[in-house]
Each structure stands twice: as structure tokens, then as C-alpha cells.
């Protein structure tokens, strides 16, 4: 009997070592890369894990890697997809301001969902990705099962503050500068990566931005960001029909928290708001553990807990 026991022990050791190696392998080496076709525009995305679909959309200036902490936290129970928005990194960079209309950006997300074989997904968005996520939930409610927004108020809240809050008007000077002709010429890959705290991650950002189109990045502002004189949107509201989880780093100077007021009026189902003192605009990285843990808990509550062993 000793020999079979040694064989069994060796097999267990091999399995444990294989599992450990997979868990410690860098995220960028474990994700699968693919491209979805969005009306002729190729949208690059990465995917990790299996289970209910979660689609993550970055903002400015960023790329799919911004979600690395959240992908790690969710991938044992969910299929997590993080895309590069058009103009960024490995996605196509069509010319023309009109190519960055928010309606086309919504179509890009729908194309990714279709390409991975999904019918609906939890949509997660930060900054411009948050704007796209809000619009996706309103335009395609049947494809949005849940909505997670990070540091991007509901569009109604933002236009209200721009119209009525002098401090928000002052703090939006950067957006007005981005709307000027030739503004992209002042941008550099290194400069755009300056906010990234991790040296290793910053190197990846510089590389991604060297592949990006700075003019395309600013076309988001030129096409979609309100211009002065600012006016509050008073058109009929399209309510968000999905449950909503919002995070807001309170040190964000670009988007002040006053814009969060009344969000509950524009959401039909439950709204969970998590404000994060000490965190800035990039709350998914500034408070990575809190955001990841809370997002996982909220998703498990909405979908039912899952694990690798249950699949």
C-alpha cells in the first residue's frame, strides 16, 4: 500500500502547485484578448472567469487595465470583460468627432456583449465609461441587468450642477480646455499616466497610451460634454430600470458630490451609494479593496453567491 499512497500524494501536490501557479500568474498573462466588430469599428476587450457576465468600461485617461483589482476579485464567480474604448490602446481609432457620439459608444458595449455570446450583463463604468453605462442602461434596458457607476453622476445631476453650481463650473475648466481645437497636441503618454501610483502599472499605461490616439480621447469631450452657457436638462427622464450601485471618491475635484443629489429620482429600483472619503476620481484604484469587496458582495446579493467549486 505505501506505493499507491506516494502516487496519490504526488498527484495532489501537482494539482496544488498547478493551482497556485495559475493564481499567482500576472493578470495580463491570464486574460484572453479578443475584438468585437461594432459597425466596422474593432473594439478590443479582455475576458477572465466564467459565470454571469460583467462588462467594465474605463474612462479618461485609462484603458482596460484600470479594472485589474476588480477583475481579480470577481473572476472566480463571474465572467468579467473589460474593454478598451474606441480611440484607446488596442481598439480602433476612427477619425472625426462624430465617431465618438455617446450613442456609438453604447453600440460598442452592445457589440462586445454580443461577441462574448451574452444577452445581458452587469454594466460597470467609470468616468466616461460611467456616462456610457448610464446611457446604455437607459437605451438598452433589456441588456442591462445591473448597473455599477464609479465617480460619474447621473447625466441629469451633472447638467444641473453645471448650470447652477459656480464651483462645478470652475472645476470643469479642464473639459472646456479639452474642447479647444488642437488641445490634444499638449498631451503625452507619460503625462497622461502621471496619476497612476504603481510604478509597474504606470509602465503599462505609458505603453497603452503610446498606442492610443490623443485627439480621439478628447473627441469624447468635444462631442458629448456640455458647453457653456450651461443649461439644465429638463426633457422627460428615461428611468434606469436596473438596480444601481454607485461609488464616489469624495476627493474628486472634477466631479463634485453635489451632483449625486436626486439620483434616486431617476432610478426605478434600489440605489446603493457608497461615498469614499480620502479617495479621488480613480476610486477603483485609490480604494481598490473596498470597491472590489463591496462590488462582489452587492453582485452576490443580486445574483446569488457562486464559486469555482459550484460551476
Mean pLDDT of the chain: 93
Is residue 234 a contact partner of residue 137, using CB atoms and an 8 Å limit? Answer: no
CATH of range 25-303; options 3.40.50.10540, 3.90.226.10, 3.40.50.1820, 3.40.50.2300: 3.40.50.1820
- Residues sharing a CB contact under 8 Å with residue 245, sequence separation 6 or more, in sequence order: 146, 147, 148, 149, 272, 274, 294, 295, 298
pLDDT category of residue 2 using cuts at 50, 70 and 90 = very low
Average pLDDT over residues 97-115: 99
Average pLDDT over residues 34-59: 99
> Would you say residue 171 has pLDDT above 70?
yes
DSSP state of 239: -
pLDDT category of residue 28 using cuts at 50, 70 and 90 = confident
Average pLDDT over residues 29-47: 98
Average pLDDT over residues 180-208: 98
Average pLDDT over residues 259-270: 98
C-alpha to C-alpha distances, 132 to 28, 138, 197, 224, nearest whole angstrom:
25, 10, 26, 10
CA-based nearest residue to 287, from 305, 297, 269, 275 = 275
| CA gap 203, 209 in Å, rounded | 10
Neighbours of 297 (CB within 10 A): 12
Q: Could you please report the per-residue DSSP string of 108-161?
A: HHHHHHHHTT-S-EEEEEETHHHHHHHHHHHH-GGGEEEEEEES---HHHHHHH
CA atoms within 13 A of residue 153's CA, in its CB half-sphere: 22
pLDDT category of residue 173 using cuts at 50, 70 and 90 = very high
| CA gap 149, 156 in Å, rounded | 14
pLDDT category of residue 306 using cuts at 50, 70 and 90 = low
Average pLDDT over residues 253-279: 98
Residue with the larger pLDDT of the pair 101 and 3? 101
> Would you say residue 304 has pLDDT above 90?
no
Per-residue model confidence (pLDDT) at position 310: 37
> Would you say residue 305 has pLDDT above 60?
no
Q: What's the grid cell of residue 88? A: 484607446
Per domain, the residue ranges of the chain are 25-303
Average pLDDT over residues 145-149: 99
Helix (H) or strand (E) holding 48: strand 41-48
| CA gap 247, 196 in Å, rounded | 19
Amino acid at each position: 500500500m505505501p506505493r499507491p499512497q506516494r502516487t496519490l500524494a504526488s498527484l495532489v501536490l501537482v494539482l496544488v502547485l498547478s493551482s497556485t501557479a495559475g493564481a499567482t500568474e500576472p493578470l495580463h498573462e491570464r486574460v484572453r484578448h479578443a475584438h468585437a466588430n461594432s459597425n466596422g469599428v474593432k473594439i478590443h476587450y479582455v475576458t477572465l472567469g466564467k459565470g454571469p457576465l460583467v462588462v467594465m468600461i474605463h474612462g479618461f485617461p485609462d484603458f482596460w487595465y484600470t479594472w485589474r483589482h476588480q477583475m481579480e476579485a470577481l473572476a472566480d464567480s463571474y465572467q468579467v470583460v473589460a474593454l478598451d474604448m474606441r480611440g484607446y490602446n488596442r481598439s480602433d481609432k476612427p477619425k472625426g468627432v462624430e465617431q465618438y457620439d455617446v450613442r456609438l459608444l453604447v453600440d460598442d458595449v452592445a457589440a462586445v456583449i454580443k461577441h462574448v455570446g451574452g444577452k445581458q450583463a452587469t454594466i460597470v463604468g467609470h468616468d466616461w465609461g460611467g456616462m456610457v453605462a448610464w446611457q446604455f442602461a437607459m437605451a438598452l434596458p433589456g441588456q442591462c441587468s445591473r448597473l455599477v457607476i464609479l465617480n460619474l453622476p447621473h447625466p441629469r445631476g451633472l447638467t444641473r450642477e453645471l448650470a447652477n453650481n459656480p464651483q462645478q463650473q470652475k472645476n470643469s475648466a479642464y473639459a472646456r480646455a479639452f474642447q479647444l481645437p488642437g488641445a490634444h497636441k499638449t498631451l503625452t503618454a507619460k503625462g497622461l499616466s502621471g496619476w497612476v501610483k504603481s510604478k509597474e502599472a504606470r509602465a503599462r499605461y505609458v505603453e497603452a497610451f503610446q498606442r492610443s490616439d490623443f485627439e480621439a480621447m478628447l473627441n469624447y469631450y468635444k462631442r458629448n460634454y456640455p458647453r457653456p452657457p450651461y443649461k439644465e436638462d429638463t426633457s422627460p427622464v428615461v428611468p434606469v430600470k436596473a438596480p444601481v450601485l454607485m461609488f464616489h471618491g469624495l476627493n474628486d475635484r472634477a466631479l463634485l458630490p453635489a451632483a449625486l443629489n436626486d439620483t434616486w429620482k431617476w432610478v426605478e429600483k434600489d440605489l446603493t451609494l457608497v461615498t469614499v472619503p480620502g479617495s479621488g476620481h480613480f476610486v477603483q484604484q485609490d480604494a481598490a479593496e473596498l470597491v472590489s469587496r463591496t462590488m462582489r458582495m452587492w453582485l452576490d446579493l443580486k445574483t446569488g453567491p457562486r464559486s469555482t467549486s459550484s460551476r
